[in-house]
Every structure is written in C-alpha cells, then in structure tokens.
Amino acid sequence: MSMKRFGKAAYRIANEARLASRHGRFFRPFSAVIIERHRLHNREDWRRKFEPIRREPRSIDLVERIKQIFGNSVRYNEDLKSSEWPNRIDSYEFGEFLGQGCNAAVYSAKLSNDELEIPNSKFGVGFNEVTDILAEVPPVSKVVQKKYPLAIKLMFNFEHDKDGDAHLWSSMGCELAPYPNAAKLLNGRMGNFTPLPAKHPNVVRIQTAFVDSLKVLPDAIERYPDALHTARWYESIASQPKTMYVVMRRYRQTLHEYVWTHHRNYWTGRVMMAQLLEACTFLHQHKVSQRDMKSDNILLEYDFDDEIPQLVIADFGCALACDDWQVPYENDDVNLGGNTKTRAPEVSTAKPGKNVKVNFEMADTWAAGGLSYEILTRSNPFYKHLDTATYQELELPALPSRVNFIARDVIFDLLKRNPTERVKPNIAANALNLSLFRMGEDVKQMMEKCGISQMTTLLAGASKGLSQKVNSHLDQVINLITAETIMANLAPHLISRAERQLRATFLSRMNREDVWRSLQYFFPPGIQLDTSATSSDCFESVSSLISSLSNGSKDFETQKKPMKNGYNAPLLLKNVIRTDSDGINGIVHRIRSK
C-alpha cells in the first residue's frame, strides 16, 4: 500500500472516530439508542405503525367516580374490612342473657383471650388532625369498648336424637342469609338458598357461624328446657349433642325499646327511616326478603343518648333468599313469614290453592312504612288499629305536622295497597337522603335555584335521553353533596357516625336516573314550575351556598381565585356545618375556625 492510500485510509478512520465520539457511540454507547429512537419517530411510517391499536383514554363519569370513591374505600365503608373468627364454642366467653325467641336464645359474649381495649378516639375511620383546624369544638371524651362486644345466638335443636350436623344446617340455614360466607358453609344443603353476597352497614353483622357441641349454660334448664338434650321425651340421644351458633356484633337496643325511652326528634327519625330504606334497597337488589319486619327485629347502636343511632335489620330466620320472589302457596302448611300483623296486603290476602303463588318483592318495603310510623310516632298502626288485609289508604292516621313533607309522602307511598303502585325502596331512600343534606338553606330552594325544578318535566317521557346540559345541573348538586360528605368525614364529631355512613352508602350506589325519579318528591308533576332559571343561575346558587359555609358573604365576594366545579375547596375547608340536636328541619350552625 502506498503512503498516499494509507494516508486516505487513516484520515477516514480518524474521521469516523471523531464522529463516533461526537455522537457518543464510543464514549457514551447508550446515547446511540436515543438518537435512533428520535430518528424512527420522525419517520412517517413509524408514527402510523400503531395507530390501529391505539386507544384513547377513557373519561370516567362523575357519578361513577363518586361511587368508586365511596364504595371502594375503607375510609367511607368499614364493611370492606375483614377478619377471621374462631369456629369453636370454647373460644368464646359468655356474658349476660340478652333475649330469647321461639328458635334461639341470645347471650353477650367475647373472645376468651380478648382483653378490654380503649380505642384512640370515638371518631373512627377518617379522623385526623384536620379536625382541630376545622372547628373550635373540643374532642369528645374517649369511650371504653364494651366488655362483651359480641352477641351469640344459640339456636334451639329439637332433634337431639339425630346424629351429624346436616339437619342443623338445612333447618337453621336461613339465619345465615346476611352472612356472605354462608354459601360455602351450607355447601348445597339448602338447595337454591342464595345469601347476601356482601356486608351492608344497615344489615346485622354476622362474624361467623358454626356447629359445635351444645353448651349448657347455668340458666338453660330454667329458660329453655325443651331445647336441651335432657328433655323428657327423648328415648335416645346422639352421642354428642350439637347445635348451631351464630356470632354477631352486639347492638345496644331494639327499635321498640328506643322509641319509648328517648324523646322524639324528627331529624333523627328521618335519618333512621333512611337507614331502614337503605337496608331494604340492598335486600331488594339481591332478591332477599326478611319477611318479619317488626320493631323487635330492628337493632340500634349508639354511644350516647343524644346520638343518632345506627340502624340494622336483624333476625333472618324467616327470610326468603332463593333468587325468586314467588312462593308457591298450595296449602296452609306453607310458611309465609313471621308476624301476621306485619305482612303486606298482598301476602295477608292470599288464599291457598292450586298454582297460587305469593309475591314477596315489595313486602319488606311495605313493612318499612309501618316501622316509619313507629319511628316518628311510637305507634305502628297495624299492631292494633288497622288490619293489613282490609285497611284502606285513607284510614292511615295523620302524621304530626312537624314531620318533613318528604318523609310524610314517602310513608304514604310505602303503604300503598297495590304493590305495583308502591314506591321502590331505592327511590324512597334517595328522596330521604337528599332531604337530609345540610346545604345552608332549604334543599328544595337550592335545587330550584340550580334550575332543576323545570327539568323534572323531562322525566315523564325522556328520562333516558336527558341531555348533557340537563345532567350538568344535577352534577352541580352532586358535586356539592359529595364535598359536604367528605368534609363531614374530616370532622366526624360534628355529624354523627350513623349519618356519615348513611351519606357514604347513598353515594356509593346512586345513579342519575333514580335520582331524577326521586326528585319528583320535591317537585311533583303538575305544579307550576319556574322556567326562568339558567345555567348561570345554577352557578350563582351553588356559589351562594358555598358562601354560607365560608366566613361570610363579604369574604366570598372579595375572593379573587376562580372556583372549580362550582365550589371553592379552600373556602369549604374554613367551615363545617352541623344540625342542632333539637332542630327539626336541620338548622345550620357555622363553626368558625381560628
């Protein structure tokens, strides 16, 4: 090779080395990957390569997002918590006798190795130091947990001459209708029995259930001798007498006891009605009928006498849970449920015969109407004065004038004789829930200012085709309701635990169509409606409501920052609202922060 050719080759190699070093190929080898990526992305064919499978980001609807927040977060739904409970009777220590029925006795209980615990505070889930900023109200004193926080239902076994436990599960399994693990325990022993698939804050909490040896307690021979294996008629008994035990959360009082030991408060009564209807909504959704809705089977939990209680439906021994509302009624031997005085008209008027079926779809909903009378007036008209089979709707006693008009109308619609004319439990629950939100002024006036009143005329024939603009007005109200509920959870000593849970339950299941239907209680069809409200009126109304929650309208008017989604979060954080314990219609108090 001549020197000339060698010089050219050397120059070329040196130039490539210089370029390589410039682009980092030799000294920064990974930079070449970045250069290649940019080169490919600048090519037209590369940019279009994945267009057929590219997906646009899906926008989440406001209502769906709210349902996710309140339905999937432990902060707002304590029923999402789970724990394991022992399935041996020796693991529990029995306390006092609580009550007895035809099929079981109930005792207070606790775990044998359980120690008395003092919780950090009464406030529960969601409490934090933000509470000290929101208000000048001092923290409530700590509450000592019950010594016996459980209740064990000892089921009566009248067949101690049978071995095994299959007959116990099949004959007593209805008690487990509210227990989500019941299907696994029963293992097909009850045919098409379909228990509730999940827990609910207004349905009795069953921790576990099991079959074990019969525990003869000191008072057993005196209270229920016929349910023991020592009953005189047995010629022979099983080698090991057994029975079923149902371990539940212990509650403080029945509804019947509560209404006669507490002063009437119509706001508290409305909250209790809403909780009862939320439970009925949950049962109706899963085709379960309790069929024995009386005040002794409604349990309440509260810590202080002036606190709004948490309400649950209990005692599912007569429950219908087979994924079908129809029950064949060919003869009088068919069990139609509990007390005849609390049976719905379509049940109490049924006559046995060939191909006759009784429909229980709206039976619990009707019974909730009678219980609502008892909550508000201490008297259920069907216990003594009216016969469920023959009463007429005009015979229903008048409610006190101080009862909220929404609660009054809901009760009369629950007690319609014709089940097809009866209001659905979810619609009734929606109406009561909306009436309970404390928005700084009357809820109906707030909705009128948002332009909702004239929109209800669209519900008659176009509820499925509500325009986006119409729904935006409803979304303004939902936004405000959600913000108020979140604030209530941050300051739990201002609003009762039961009411906070009720709000979260409502928001976790709501949908626009049902909310629109429930608004007919606020704006009945045929009334003169205001058609002058506009979108800006709605915005101004919501703004004025937020102003009432802030330090005053003057501070709100001088606020320079624009509001987002119809409310200003910093302003909302300045104050929290609550209702006076003696308030009938939810009198609002402004709690100023420092």
Domain boundary among 404, 436, 468: 436
User: What is the pLDDT at residue 403?
Assistant: 94
Domain that holds residue 313: 251-436
- Provide the CATH number for the domain around residue 157: 3.30.200.20
**Amino acid (one-letter) located at 25:** R
CATH of the domain at 269: 1.10.510.10
Q: DSSP assignment, residue 153?
A: E
530 flagged as catalytic: no
Residues 522 and 407 in one domain: no
Give domain status of residue 517, yes or no: yes
pLDDT score of 144? 41
Q: Which of 114, 161, 226, 292 is catalytic?
A: 292
- Are residues 276 and 346 located together in one domain of the fold? yes
Question: How many domains would you assign to the chain?
Answer: 3
**Residue 551: per-residue pLDDT:** 39
Secondary structure element (H or E) that encloses residue 96, with its range: strand 92-100
φ, ψ of residue 556 in degrees (nearest 5): -70, -40
Give the closest residue to 431 by CA, choosing from 413, 457, 449: 413
394, part of any domain: yes
**Packing angle, helices 497-509 and 62-71, rounded to 10:** 140
What is the rounded distance in angstroms from the CA atom of residue 392 to the CA atom of residue 416? Answer: 9
- Distances in Å between the Cα of 485 and the Cα atoms of 70, 142, 184, 373, 410 are 10, 24, 37, 28, 24
Residue with tokens 């095994």: 164
321, 417: one domain: yes
Residue that is last in its domain, among 185, 217, 250: 250
**For residues 66 and 70, what is the distance between their CA atoms, to the nearest angstrom?**
6
Burial 321-357 (b: 16+ CB within 10 A, else e): bbeebebebeeeeeebbbbeebbbbbbbebeeeeeee
Sequence-distant (6+) residues with CB within 8 A of 417 are 345, 391, 392, 393
Decide if 254 contacts 295 (C-beta within 8 A): yes
End-to-end CA distance of the chain: 92
51 part of a folded domain: no
322 lies in the same domain as 466: no
295 shares its domain with 363: yes
pLDDT of res. 476: 78
Residue 284 falls within a domain, yes or no? yes
For residue 15, being part of any structural domain is answered with no
Q: Which of residues 250, 271, 290 is at a domain's end?
A: 250
Per DSSP, the residues of 158-204 read: S-TTS-SSHHHHHHHGGGGTT-TTHHHHHTTTTTT----SS--TTB-
Closest CA to 453 of 537, 511, 567, 548: 537
What is the pLDDT, as a whole number, of residue 258?
95
pLDDT of residue 22: 57
313 and 448 inside one domain = no
Inside any domain, residue 26:
no
**pLDDT for the residue numbered 37:** 66
pLDDT tens by residue, the chain, 594 residues: 566 666 677 777 777 666 665 555 445 555 566 666 666 666 665 556 655 555 565 667 788 888 888 887 777 777 777 788 999 999 999 999 998 888 899 999 999 886 444 343 343 333 333 333 333 444 443 444 578 899 999 999 888 878 888 888 888 888 899 998 888 888 777 778 889 999 999 999 999 999 999 899 999 889 988 888 887 777 777 778 889 999 999 999 999 999 999 998 999 999 999 999 999 999 999 999 999 999 999 999 998 888 999 999 999 988 999 889 999 999 888 888 878 888 999 999 999 988 899 999 999 999 999 999 999 999 999 998 899 999 999 999 999 999 999 999 999 999 999 999 999 999 999 999 999 887 655 677 767 666 666 555 454 445 455 556 677 777 777 888 888 888 877 777 778 889 989 999 999 998 888 888 888 888 776 544 443 444 455 445 444 444 443 433 344 334 444 333 333 333 333 333 333 334 333 333 333 333
Residue 11, in any domain of the structure: no
The answer on 482 and 391 residing in a single domain is no
**Residues 402 and 535 occupy one common structural domain:** no
Tell me the CA distances in angstroms from 473 to 68, 287, 441, one per residue in order: 21, 34, 18
Query: Between the CA atoms of 396, 399, 401 and 405, what dihedral angle is there, to the nearest 10 degrees?
Result: -90
**Are 383 and 276 in the same domain?**
yes
User: How high is the pLDDT of residue 77?
Assistant: 77
**Is residue 573 included in any domain, yes or no?**
yes
